[in-house]
Amino acid sequence: MKRETKCVHSGNFIDPATKGINTPIYTSSVYKYIDSGKQSYPRYFNTPNQEAVVEKLCALESAEAGILFSSGMAAISTTFLTLLDKGDHVVLQDEIYGGTHAFIINQFDKFGIEYDFVKTNAEAVGSAIKDHTRVIYVESPTNPLLTLIDLSRVAELAKEKNILIVIDNTFASPINQNPLEIGIDVVVHSGTKYLGGHSDICCGAVLSNNNIIEKIHKTAVDFGGSLNAVTCSLLERSLKTMSLRVERQTENAMNIARFLENHPQIAQTWYPGLESHTGHAIAKKQMKGFGAMVAFELSREVDSIHFLKKLKLIKPALSLGGIESTICSPALTSHKKMPAEDREKIGVTDKVLRFSAGIEHIDDITADMAQALG
Ligand SMILES: *Cc1c(COP(=O)(O)O)cnc(C)c1O
């Protein structure tokens, strides 16, 4: 099946009692166990609503198995604490999601896990590998400047040494990038973004092979970050339209990127689909679409707060991936705690903004940007 069809059909559970074609919402937290052959329980991650979504996500990411979590961070933290033991070492990019960065620096010392943050490129990752490195953790494209890392090159470097590679695939979504197909071992998602897609649920997922998921499942039962049936059902419904949504969002992002690149009030535009983007060649090689996030820097004459306040349709808001276009200032949000000097060194000035394309008509989005810049 093609991905559009998988979105609609994979994992659907036909209700044996009514023959309804949608997965019913099973709210039970208590299940009879005599003669059932299975002990179902929400925190065992094995109820029908959890399993229906996992099956759909496995089909979309070409994974053997997966687990759903109550947030992206629950998925990420449980994955790290499964794959790493005391004394192990992990290599990470310096441009990673702020919450993941905080988790590492707040928690790893007490577990005795060592880590190094390196520049976002495969060779830097390769040179940071030590004898006790067990995991390489990457994000591509990154937040907020959409830097790319060559995933098959990282896979090559890791395979020689038996190191597992984990990718946070949130920004690309399963529609625009399928890392398990190109040698990555584990995919994590913040389902709060493109999987949910309507800015109204919080969830996460991990996808991999049977062996790795079995291990993560054991830790997940201990930590307990499971997702409830009602949210599973909302997520399942959202996933049915994911290809339509993300394809439109990606097309809108490409058009906005071209508009911004040619606008006199814009100093710089970052979008993997632009020929001018440093990661364009890598993006063409490893992505199915260039994604729906665009970053840009306003020219010296335009004040960023003034610009954000003038927008009428595009909402200045945290988070991303919803059907409505949103925009945020990383300097005031995700990178707020970073000293201004360090922030500017990685290119995140006060004038850099991050745009998340929605599914609105491109003319309306462009007109809003144009009037706010004018
Ligand atoms: C939002 C986000 C997360 C964290 O997900 P939550 O659902 O908020 O816990 C992780 N990685 C990336 C890239 C994100 O954008």
Run means of pLDDT, 10 residues per run, the chain, 374 residues: 97 90 93 84 96 98 98 98 98 92 96 97 97 98 96 95 97 98 98 98 98 98 98 98 98 98 97 98 98 97 96 95 97 84 86 97 98 95
193 annotated active-site: yes
For the chain, what is the radius of gyration of the CA atoms?
Answer: 21
Whole-angstrom CA distances from 254 to 148, 174, 211 are 16, 18, 39
Residue 34: its pLDDT value, please? 84
Ligand 1 mutation target, pool 68, 69, 71, 73, most atoms within 8 A of CB: 73
If you take atom 5 of ligand 1, which residue's CA is the nearest one?
Answer: 72
Measured distance CA(174)–CA(62) in Å, rounded: 9
* Ligand 1 midpoint to CA 190 (Å): 4
* Ligand 1 midpoint to CA 373 (Å): 30
Q: Which residue ranges have their beta carbon within 6 Å of ligand 1?
A: 71-73, 97, 99-100, 143, 168, 170-171, 190, 192-193, 202, 204
**Phi and psi at residue 133, to the nearest 5°:** -70, 125
* Ligand 1 midpoint to CA 33 (Å): 36
Q: Which of 168, 245, 351, 354 is catalytic?
A: 168
Measured distance CA(334)–CA(305) in Å, rounded: 16
Measured distance CA(331)–CA(86) in Å, rounded: 35
Ligand 1 mutation target, pool 68, 97, 318, most atoms within 8 A of CB: 97
* Site of tokens 């002990």: 39
Measure the CA dihedral 183/180/143/164, to 10°: -50
* Omega of the bond leading into 144 within 30 degrees of 0 (cis): yes
222 annotated active-site: no
Shortest-distance atom of ligand 1 to CA 143? 13
185 annotated active-site: no
* Ligand 1 midpoint to CA 73 (Å): 6
Residue 37: its pLDDT value, please? 81
Whole-angstrom CA distances from 349 to 81, 139, 163, 171, 334 are 34, 21, 35, 21, 12
Tokens read off for 41:
């329980």
